[in-house]
Chain A
Amino acid sequence: MIEPAAYMPGPEMNRLQWRALWIGVAVLGVCILGAFRSPAQFFHSYLLAFLFWTGMALGCLAIAMLHHLTGGSWGMVIRRLLESGSRTLPLMALLFVPLFFGRHWIYSWTRPMNLPRQQLEYLDVRFFLTRAVLYFVVWLALAHWLGKWSHEQDRTGDRRLLRKMQWLSGPGLVLYGLTGTFAAVDWMMSLEPRWYSSIFGLLIIGGQVLSAMAFVIVVLVLLTAYQPLGRVLQPRHMHNLGKLLLAFVMVWAYLSFSQLLIMWSGNLPEEIPWYLHRLEGGWRWVGVLLILFHFALPFFLLLSRDLKRTGPKLALLAMLVVVMRMVDLFWLTAPEFSPGRFHIHWMDIAAPVGMGGVWLAVFAWHLKTRPLLPVGDPYLAVVLEGEHE
């Protein structure tokens, strides 16, 4: 077994935790002041921030489970980051509470509305809350068990834990697919009641996985400036992660384009308004931004082998993807509050930054308590030796 102490993160993690926390709390504080001026805008921005950071945590959980199922050294180097990311889910559960109390400012269906009977049944406040609780129970349970077993593995190196994590990850991914989908319906699709799209859940899940992948690449490259990761990480690790980033960028584009093409050609009155809201009055340019910087630029740059193997370049591109994920979520949600007229408020930036600070603090807090590599995993040798792929 490998000595755990050699892989503990340094004091920089502590600094990151406290700085992120103070910035987060300060910015969120300003947002709360803003909430007194315009509560509706506060909750619109809050929703954006909540969706982004919950998606990040869920994406981490999903990639971790994918790694447990498939193995591979690509996952070994980011496993701790993924685990720390998914262990922020309790925070997100807590942050759901304000959202629930602000529902009247966000969801039009909380007011009496002329909707089909089925939607009235599904979009019922009590049912909505029950489902949210259920999603969080499932997510917290998955993140908890995987985190716990991984911790045990660090201490004991027990090989059975490998199988245990693998055993949970199969059904875990199925559960994530279902809960992630219905959460997307509840929290995002229902912003425009009457509108429906059967690909929407996959689209949101794909986006979550993409944000998490891009995020861990950024963090990983930043950590290579310090030991121990500085001496472990090699270009081939970055290469593999870059390939996965490219794959997820393509999946996102594929799913988004499928939905657009089918709805555009159908041009049905129950479907097309959703796109019209997002293509009129300036919103169109946000869409163009997505095509250029969420797909085209990352796609073409990531084809380069050189870029994928150079940490700083890859991290820069991954940072762009993280930002564009936020723009995408903005384009998916904000036009509902201001259809036909582009509108952005300072809180649309401040709320995600503030919540992000708190989120990062929790992330760093989890990260600093354990070795940066899964030292009890028998396959870690493959990563360290670097002879096999």
Chain B
Amino acid sequence: MGAEGPRLPTAAERRRPPVIGPGHTFATVTDKISTIVLTRPTTPGWLAGFLVSFSLMMLLFYAIGYLLLEGVGVWGINIPVGWGFAIVNFVWWIGIGHAGTLISAILLLLNQKWRTSINRFAEAMTLFAVASAGLFPLLHLGRPGLFYWLLPYPSTMGVWPQFRSPLVWDVFAVSTYFTVSLLFWFVGLIPDLATLRDRAETRAARILYGILAMGWRGSAMHWHRYQTAYLLLAGLAAPLVVSVHTVVSLDFAVGIIPGWHSTIFPPYFVAGAIYSGFAMVLTLAIPLRAAYGLEDFITMRHLENMAKVMLATGLIVAYGYAMELFMAWYSGNTYEGFTAWNRIVGPYWPAYWALILCNVVIPQLLWFKRVRTKVPVLFVLSLTVNLGMWLERFVIVVTSLHRDFLPSSWGMYTATRWDWAVFVGSMGLFLTLLFLFIRFLPMISIFEMRELVSETEAGSSD
């Protein structure tokens, strides 16, 4: 900006905190992030958290073992509600897994600098969430050993997947998403793995990080190719953010069950996925930045921006609910009308109203800057949205199935202790992987933060 040019409002005037705390240099950024992995001793807090998560993961394995021995009858599913917790949890986890790729790919393409300090662990979160999600449909198959029947392989038995079924699209959508997210995450890690290799103090660590760094030397040629590859991967990953949850929504909408067969489902599921994904990133980022003193890297600006994304996507989700209700009424369709009414006042009314409270009413607080900048309040809000989004999937899955066209085949669904064990256990799996990640890999991208430092020093107002 020229010296005589009109003065731009400073960050303070715009009441916007910076994306990186003041006074950081290349060295401090590298030190601060890499010491968490390399030199800091394992803290009691980490150990305690890891142990709890690990125990929950053991509970998951135990529950899965019992399920494999006894069959899916140990769950509460039956006719008419054949989908139950397994599908609720699947959709919930997959939804959470959307923030990572959105933050890393779409925000990268949109040139949003603030993504830098949250993308790494958001991507890791995505992978672990998708891993947790993937378990459920497999277990729900009833005969998980035959899972490969879902794939179109040249079979001598003449078994071929039904390509008109979105359940088959799911197989492709989710596995593609997982593969691309994994690649994206790993490629993003390579320069940082090289940093860790160079700074490692033990021989074992040097060898391990050295192998993972794939011979990275940081030459200009490396960087040039690296940037190209990273951008290409981002371009590939961006449509996946939309496609995966669209396909998940079609699992419901392609059928003609009242309450599922609604054209708004694809955009409203995608918005819901981003909503829950950002809620989960906040749920994780807030304790992490406190525990590791990362307030300079994950600043109020990040938290506020994420809160704004939550508000926007939450409003789209609320719009989806409103349109479903309006069309159920306007159509004059007996079954649609009944399903909507049954959700509101039927036997599952507490779930419906709790969902409205968590997803629509309470998040309206995010309109206020005072709320968006209060960290504890934001944390509670993020938990509320996580809960609300789980309830949303529960309401969609269970209320539509338990009372459909034929009153003589109505029934109720109650989760058994094994349903709960697998659900809570899947959180154990997710958290265990996450604890291992923050202990062994840099949770914030070191090299991108260094870029950010040089850009901030160059005098940009952001």
| Residues in A lying within 8 Å of B, measured CB to CB | 1-2, 115-119, 122, 159, 170, 174, 177-178, 181, 185, 194, 196-202, 254-255, 258-259, 261-263, 265-266, 268, 270, 378-382, 385, 387-389
CB of A198 within 8 A of CB of B164, answer: no
Chain A positions within 8 Å of B2 at CB level: 385
**CB-based contact B330/A385 at 8 Å:** no
A383–B288 Cα distance when bound, in Å, is 38
Which of B266, B320, B460 touches A388 (beta carbons < 8 Å)? Answer: B460
| Most A Cβ at <10 Å: residue of B2, B111, B250, B326 | B326
Dominant secondary structure of chain A at its interface with chain B? helix
Q: How far is the CB of B333 from chain A (nearest CB, A)?
A: 7
* Option from B1, B6, B327 in Cβ contact (under 8 Å) with A198: B327
The reply to whether A1 and B6 form a contact with Cβ atoms under 8 Å apart is: yes
Q: Which residues of chain B are within 8 angstroms of A268 by Cβ–Cβ distance?
A: 256, 261
Interface of B is mostly: loop
Contacts A117-B332, A197-B263, A388-B461 known; list 20 others, CB within 8 Å: A115-B332, A116-B332, A116-B333, A177-B315, A196-B327, A198-B264, A198-B324, A199-B266, A202-B264, A255-B267, A259-B263, A261-B250, A262-B253, A270-B331, A378-B7, A381-B1, A381-B8, A382-B8, A388-B460, A389-B111
User: Using Cβ atoms and an 8 Å threshold, which residues of chain A touch B111?
Assistant: 389
Q: Is B1 within 8 A of A170, CB to CB?
A: no
Structural contact, B323 and A201, CB atoms closer than 8 A? yes
Q: Is the CB of B250 within 8 A of A196?
A: no
Q: Which of A118, A262, A378, A389 makes the CB contact (< 8 A) with B9?
A: A378
- The reply to whether A118 and B263 contact each other, CB–CB distance below 8 Å, is no
User: Does B323 lie within 8 Å of A198, measured CB to CB?
Assistant: yes
Verify B242–A118 contact, CB threshold 8 A.
no
List the A side residues contacting B331 at CB < 8 Å: 116, 118, 194, 196, 270
Q: Are A2 and B263 in contact (CB under 8 A)?
A: no
The minimal Cβ–Cβ distance linking A367 to chain B, given in whole angstroms, is 24
Interface string of B321-341 (1 = CB under 8 A from A): 001101101111100000000
- Least CB distance from B265 to A in Å reads 7
In the complex, chain B residues whose CB is within 8 Å of the CB of A115: 332
Q: Is B254 an interface residue (CB 8 A)?
A: yes
Tell me, yes or no, whether B195 is within 8 Å of chain A by CB: no
Residues of A within 8 A of B153 (CB): none
Give B403 Cβ to nearest chain A Cβ, in Å. Answer: 19
CA distance A197 to B263 in the complex (A): 6
Q: Which residue of chain A has its CB nearest to the CB of B462?
A: A388
Do A258 and B323 contact each other (CB < 8 Å), given the known contacts A119-B332, A196-B331, A385-B5? no
- Of A201, A378, A388, A389, the residue contacting B6 (CB under 8 A) is A378
A2 to B329, CA, bound (A): 54
Q: How far is the CB of B5 from chain A (nearest CB, A)?
A: 5
B250 near A385 with CB under 8 A, answer no
Can you report 28 A-B residue pairs in the complex whose CB atoms are below 8 A from each other? A2-B6, A115-B332, A116-B331, A116-B333, A118-B329, A118-B332, A159-B9, A177-B315, A177-B319, A181-B323, A196-B327, A198-B323, A199-B264, A202-B264, A254-B246, A255-B267, A258-B246, A258-B263, A258-B266, A259-B263, A261-B254, A262-B254, A262-B261, A270-B333, A380-B6, A381-B1, A381-B6, A382-B8
- Is the Cβ of A118 less than 8 Å from the Cβ of B253? no
Q: How far is the CA of A266 from the CA of B267 in the complex (A)?
A: 18
Chain B residue with Cβ nearest A303: B235
Q: With an 8 A cutoff between CB atoms, is B89 at the interface?
A: no
If the complex has contacts A258-B246, A258-B263, are A118 and B8 also in contact, measured as CB distance less than 8 A? no
* B263 engages A200 (CB within 8 Å): yes
Enumerate B1-53 residues with CB–CB distance to A below 8 Å.
1-2, 5-9, 13
B410 an interface residue at 8 Å Cβ cutoff?
Answer: no
Judge whether B116 is part of the interface by a CB distance below 8 angstroms.
no
CA distance A199 to B242 in the complex (A): 16
A378 to B323, CA, bound (A): 40
What's the nearest-Cβ distance from chain A to residue B197, in Å?
A: 34
Task: Evaluate contact between B263 and A263: CB separation under 8 angstroms.
Answer: yes
Does B181 belong to the interface (CB within 8 Å)? no
Q: Report B296 CB to chain A, min CB distance, Å.
A: 23
Does B267 lie within 8 Å of A199, measured CB to CB?
A: yes
Task: Give chain A residues whose Cβ lies under 8 Å from the Cβ of B164.
Answer: 265
The reply to whether A185 and B330 form a contact with Cβ atoms under 8 Å apart is: yes
Known: A116-B332, A174-B315, A196-B330. A262 touches B263 (CB 8 A): yes
The residues in B between 253 and 272 inclusive whose CB is less than 8 angstroms from any CB of A are 253-256, 261-267
Give B252's nearest chain A residue, CB to CB: A262
* B367 at interface by CB-CB < 8 Å: yes
Of all chain A residues, the one with the shortest Cβ separation from B253 is A262
Distance in angstroms between the alpha carbons of A262 and B333 in the assembled complex: 17
Nearest A residue to B254 via CB reads A265
Task: Name the A residues within 8 Å of B246 (CB-CB).
Answer: 254, 258
Considering the complex, give the chain A residue whose CB is closest to the CB of B266.
A258
Can you list the 5 inter-chain pairs with the closest CB atoms, starting with the nearest?
A: A116-B332, A198-B264, A199-B263, A258-B266, A198-B323
* B1–A385 CB distance below 8 A: yes
Give the shortest distance, in Å, between B250 (CB) and chain A (any CB).
7
Q: Are A254 and B242 in contact (CB under 8 A)?
A: yes
Q: How distant is B235 from chain A, measured CB to nearest CB, in Å?
A: 10
CB of B330 within 8 A of CB of A258, answer: no
